[in-house]
């Protein structure tokens, strides 16, 4: 069975159309202002209304319940992808009743989570470099060897530094059932390339 694919940080119609036509399983909408891929709830709503699209996943960084409620009032999301602890995950699931995906930074084998801690899916990526202003989306490649012998406690997704050229090797090395890409299909921060999106999905499916 081929790996599922999420194209994160979609901000415009050409990228949305490319992800849809290529058969991506999810798109990511970023609701974190410091990110070059940030969308307001209104912009996200208008983008999704522009045509068919894969299931949208909202990305949030340590959000308050009110912040997420504000987005959900305008945007119908299939899941919430968050940077936060187990208590945060539990609060979000209890309040909104949506699947919660928890992002986890890994820089050593011990960082790979042994428990789901209430999350419906884990998104594993490299820990951000020192001084980074964002907890993810820094184009840092996760050292795949750190996951050798790891037993996933929940459905999971590999992220961090993936692109059309390496995603096949990443899937074969880690056995990842799903992959997530953002900067690896961009020509500049926040500017998705439709051709790279199509190439990424094709490479992931071929693996």
Boundaries of every domain in the chain: 4-206
Confidence band for 19, pLDDT divided at 50, 70 and 90? very high
d(CA 27, CA 57): 6
Q: What is the pLDDT of residues 29-76, one digit of tens each?
A: 999 999 999 999 999 999 999 999 999 999 999 999 999 999 999 999
| Contact criterion met (CB below 8 Å) for 2 and 204 | yes
d(CA 193, CA 184): 9
DSSP 80: E
* pLDDT at residue 139, as a whole number: 66
The CATH number of the domain covering residues in 4-206? 3.20.20.70
| Contact criterion met (CB below 8 Å) for 9 and 18 | no
Which one is predicted more confidently, 130 or 111? 111
Beta 191-192 vs 186-188: how paired, if at all? Answer: antiparallel
Q: pTM (2 decimals)?
A: 0.94
- Least Cα distance to 84 among 50, 54, 118 occurs for 118
* pLDDT at residue 127, as a whole number: 83
């Amino acid at each position: 069975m081929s790996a599922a694919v999420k194209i994160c940080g979609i901000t415009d119609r050409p990228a949305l159309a490319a992800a849809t036509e290529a058969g991506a399983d999810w798109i990511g909408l970023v609701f974190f202002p410091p990110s070059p891929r940030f969308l307001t709830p209104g912009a996200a709503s208008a983008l999704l209304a522009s045509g068919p699209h894969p299931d949208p996943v909202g990305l949030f960084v340590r959000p308050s319940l009110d912040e997420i409620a504000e987005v959900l009032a305008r945007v119908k999301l299939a899941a919430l992808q968050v940077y936060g602890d187990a208590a945060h995950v539990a609060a979000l699931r209890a309040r909104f009743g949506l699947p919660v995906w928890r992002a986890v930074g890994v820089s050593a084998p011990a960082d790979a989570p042994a428990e789901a801690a209430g999350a419906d899916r884990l998104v594993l990526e490299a820990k951000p470099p020192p001084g980074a202003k964002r907890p993810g989306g820094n184009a840092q490649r996760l050292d795949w060897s750190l996951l050798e012998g790891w037993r996933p406690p929940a459905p999971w997704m590999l992220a961090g530094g993936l692109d059309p050229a390496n995603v096949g090797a990443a899937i074969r090395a880690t056995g990842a059932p799903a992959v997530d890409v953002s900067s690896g299909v961009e020509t500049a921060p926040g500017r998705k390339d439709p051709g790279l999106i199509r190439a990424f999905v094709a490479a992931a499916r071929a693996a």
